[in-house]
Structures are given as structure tokens and as C-alpha cells.
Copies of this chain bind each other. A is one copy, B any other.
Amino acid sequence: MTEVMEELALANRILAHEGVLDAFGHVSVRHPTDPGRYLLSRSRSPLLIEPDDILEYTLDSEPVRPAKAHLYAERVIHGCIYQARSDVMAVCHHHAPAVMPFAIAGKPIVPVFHLGATMGEDMPFWDQYDEFGDTNLLVVKQEEGHSLARALGEHNAVLMNRHGATVVGGGAKELVSRSIFMCQNADYQLRALALGVPQPLHRGEIKLAGAINLLPNVVTRTWEYWSMRLEAAGGMPPRRSSAKAARRPMPKSSRVTPRERRKGRRR
């Protein structure tokens, strides 16, 4: 569990450092051994999340153990999607600047470059107003979460009207790369409009290119890159408390700072 919590804290911070999350947004993973539970931080900005902030929730989005901390109001997004999609192991809800023009204009993001294909061929658009009328647009009720999960269906992501997006994955690393590549895709698609209406990849290309971010040499490369960028900015999460008590050595991948490496310390 320590490893899972540390990876989840790192995933939050990577997505914040890469511009997907800001003061808002949250990332969860399904419990590694109990599919009826999920792990999510207490209410805190993702860039600051530590392993000790991670709480365990039932799929009804109730904390398993009583918690004194503020909880994310929108945690039902996570619980309702885990209920509806047994294949989903990780969920990210965000308001990334790159996707906001599409969420506001109600226009689809389509895969316009090979890495964007990880989003899938198309993406549903959900408007909370259609079913619930005037709200503050936050997804806080079970029925709102279920409605969003229905709209998501079997897709990899769903746009939320004037609000943001929710992305799912088969694990934390797949989720992180899908969320980042979807933002890059949205940015490129928007800027390409100045040159003409961009066309999506061919359907067969989407299927084939959609698997690139699962290739072992790609996963290794991207995770190392995003982690080192975070580390260079001084943003790596601390170890989990109990782990620290046990005085285990730092994981090899985060032991050497860029400065130390420059000075010649080898990994």
C-alpha cells in the first residue's frame, strides 16, 4: 500500500507540474487488492499531496475510516465511475487550460496526432444542466456522479460543459500519460484551426497509435522524464510516514538530484 500511495501522490504532482491540474482537480486509483474501494487524497491541491494525505473510500465515496480533514466535494466522480467500469483502475478529473476552450464551446476534441490517439476515436460531451438544471456545476451528488459515469460509457474521457474533463485509465501511469497527451492534442487542435479545420487520424491509425503509451520503452521514458522535471523543480513528494519510520532507503530513481548528477554522482 505504501508504494501505491506514493505513486498516487507522485501522479498528482506530475499532473500538476505538467499543467493538467492546478489548485483544483484530483486523481484516484482503485484499491490494489479490494476492487470495492478506491484511494484519493484529502481535499488538497494536487501539487502538494503527500502519501499521508491519501484516504481510502468505499465506492459510495464514504471514507472507510473517519477522517477529520476536508474531503473533495466531487469525490463521487471517482466512486461512480469505479462502480460502472470494472476495467477502470485510475480516474482523473481536471480543468486543464488546454481543454477548457472545447469544454466551453461544446466542440469535440479529436485525435489529431499519434499520441493523442490514446483518447480514443471520440469523446462524449456531458452537460450537467440537461438533467439537473441550475447547479454550481460541481459533481457532488451520487445521481450527478452516476449521470457522468453513464455519459462516459466505455470511452476513455468525457468533456464536462463549462467545467472540465474526466479521464480514466487502466492504471496510474496510463492515466497520467493519457491526461497529458489529451491536453497536448487539444492545444495542437486549437492552434491548427488557424490553418484550416484539422482532420482526425484514420480510424485504424487511432487504434494502433492509441497503444503507443502502453509500450514498455515509452512508459519508462515518459515516467522518468516527468518525474525528473518535477524533481528538478523541488516538487517530489515526501515518503509515507510509516515508511520513513522503517528508514528504508530512497527508491533509486529519486535519489540523485540533477545538480548532484551534474557533479558526477552516478546512478
Contacts and interface: CB of A to CB of B under 8 A. Distances in A.
Interface of A: 22-24, 43-45, 47-48, 50, 70-73, 95, 97, 100-107, 112-115, 117, 129, 133-138, 162-164, 184, 187-196, 198, 201-205, 207-209, 211-212, 215-217, 220-222, 224-226, 228-229, 232-239, 241, 244, 257-259, 261-266
A191 B203 CA distance: 28
B196 A105 contact: yes
A43 B223 CA distance: 13
A14 to B, nearest CB: 11
Contacts of A95: 113, 115
Contacts of A22: 225
A201 B70 contact: no
A221 B73 CA distance: 12
A225 B134 contact: no
Contact of A258 (B114, B163, B234, B261): B234
A23 B262 CA distance: 20
Nearest to A205: B134
Contacts of A266: 238, 241
Contacts of A72: 217
Contact of A162 (B112, B203, B241): B112
B195 A48 contact: no
A190 B193 contact: no
A134 B208 contact: yes
A217 B264 contact: no
A18 to B, nearest CB: 10
A45 B104 contact: no
B188 A100 contact: yes
A77 to B, nearest CB: 14
Contact of A228 (B47, B137, B203, B238): B47
Contact of A163 (B23, B114, B203, B220): B114
A6 to B, nearest CB: 12
A117 to B, nearest CB: 8
Given A43-B217, A100-B191, A234-B259, 5 more contacts: A47-B229, A71-B217, A97-B188, A104-B198, A232-B233
